[in-house]
Chains A and B, each alone.
Chain A
Amino acid sequence: MREKFFEKILLLCALSAVTALFLIALFIFYEGLPLIFRIGPANFILSSNWAPTKGHFGILPMIVGSLQVTVLALILGGTLGLACAMFLAEFAPRWSVRILKPLIELLAGIPSVVYGFIGVLVLVPLIRRTLGGPGFSVLAAGIILGIMILPTVIAISLDALNAVPLSYKEGSLAVGATRWQTLYRLTLPAAKSGIIASLILAMGRAIGETMAVIMVAGNALIIPKSPLEPVRTLTSNIALEMGYASGTHQEALFATGVVLFIIVALLNTFALLALRKKV
């Protein structure tokens, strides 16, 4: 009897979580889709003219901006994170792993507004003085996001590398391969799916990040031609304008959310597929 009771309670909790998620998705689509169909999906996604209070709804600069910032963050954070995971998995002495791993996990706990604040005070003036431009730029946003995704990349890649059976490595070392050869030729390919999943999850994190990006990206409505130019991402567009938006302007922001929702959903699907394909 009690068994049944707890089972039901847990089921209720699980259902309410799923229901909440479903309702949120439903609400975003309900609010955003009518506008997309009114002006045509192609116009919405491929036009660069965004002036919602004057009836222009084109989010191409934001889509391109989001992708640019995310790709840059992945190049910076992905390579650093992967290198760090490889070091921790294969070369680091046991005691340093015990210190480094919690430190890296601590990075994940820093609120994004703090990252943004450091970006505004330190990184942006640095870029302005050394490289030129306004400082608020794709580069600034990419660097900040690159640092923010490190914990995700490192934690999941590290698990993937550690999951490779020790007997494989021993076999490789026994036939005379060096530790680097073993890592490069054997461990990395074996852990490939986990590493790819970590990068895709990091990508989702980077695309969804709002506060830190709004603070350092400059939010101009252009398609940046260089990393030193300002950029506006999909998330910043919503957060920046929602305070005063009403009517069609508000619908346009929900429509931006719909596009973002679809992009993130696709990314997560890919991540799940990559994780399933265990080598």
Chain B
Amino acid sequence: MRNFITILCALFPVIFISFAGCRRSAETSLTIAGSTSVQPFAELLAELYMQKHPGVEINVQGGGSSAGIRAVQNRICDIGMSSRPLTPEEQNLQQWTIALDGIVLIVHNQNPVRNITLEQLKDVFSGKIRNWRELGGPDQKITVITREEGSGTRGCFEEIVMHGAHFAADALVQDSNGAVREIVASDPSAIGYISFGLVDERVRALAVNGITPSESTIIAHTYPLARRFLFLTNGEPNALARSFLEFVLSPEGQKTLADEGLIKAVP
């Protein structure tokens, strides 16, 4: 019995050591961190890049735009990801726009409301406006759907629309664009927000401040909820980071992003 416990204890360090990754040199490994909105796309691009260049390792981590910007400023990661514009203090970083996206307000197909102002949006999502009548729709309570805390899309929506106001406590919370879309497609009184690339014919996109979300209004940045997905480096990127950036901005990388529903930054 005692022997066994000794063996067991002796085994654990061995197991842990075997899990601890061997650190690679800067020439073959790249760390990317930041925006959770950009993360899934960066992961996809990293996978493709690693297939093309065996031996290279790219780690993509989340944490949020601000955390990514801080990490790249402190040289904790090679490339930062951000889905929000840089503040004046952050302008010392080099930035590459890898793709464009818009956050689109969606309602049920039978909903007669076509347009909403940013002010009304804030009131709807903070629970001040509770009935569609106040927006020119039918006399029906509004079912508000938001994303979970920590989601990049939610963070961006908070910045552009909420300005510090809290989401209504009774708002439904869903943890993916797809789930939000499903609920809106089936509930005539629902309103939610999803990424531009995921809008389909089962739901209706609202115009915001009179501007309809479309590829052209997002590229021109006239649509109020347009956002840029940025890659950031601190000074000149090293050879591997540069090679990865070039891949992302190449026709193939851009096509990959467009296939995922984003809008190409390099037409």
A contacts, CB < 8 Å to B: 8, 11-12, 15-16, 19, 50-53, 120, 125, 128, 134-136, 214, 218-222, 229-230, 232, 239-241, 243-247, 249
Contact = CB atoms under 8 A, between A and B. Distances in A.
Given A8-B4, A134-B143, A243 B169 contact: no
A120 B172 CA distance: 14
A240 B1 contact: no
Contact of B187 (A135, A230, A232, A239): A135
10 nearest A-B residue pairs (beta carbon): A244-B150, A219-B173, A218-B172, A244-B36, A134-B143, A222-B169, A240-B148, A240-B175, A220-B170, A222-B170
Nearest to B35: A244
B170 A243 contact: no
Interface of B: 1, 4-5, 8, 36, 62-64, 67, 143, 148-152, 166, 169-175, 182-183, 186-187, 189-190
Contacts of B8: 12, 15-16, 19
Contact of A245 (B1, B150, B166): B150
A249 B64 CA distance: 12
A220 B152 contact: no
A241 B148 contact: yes
Nearest to B152: A244
Nearest to A128: B187
Contacts of B174: 219
B152 A230 contact: no
A134 to B, nearest CB: 5
Contact of B151 (A8, A19, A220, A244): A244
Contacts of A135: 187
Contacts of B172: 134, 136, 218-220, 230
Contact of B150 (A11, A16, A120, A241): A241
B173 A134 contact: no
A82 B36 CA distance: 47
B62 A246 contact: yes
Contacts of A120: 182
Contacts of B171: 220
Contacts of B4: 8, 11-12, 15
B173 A218 contact: yes
Nearest to A246: B63
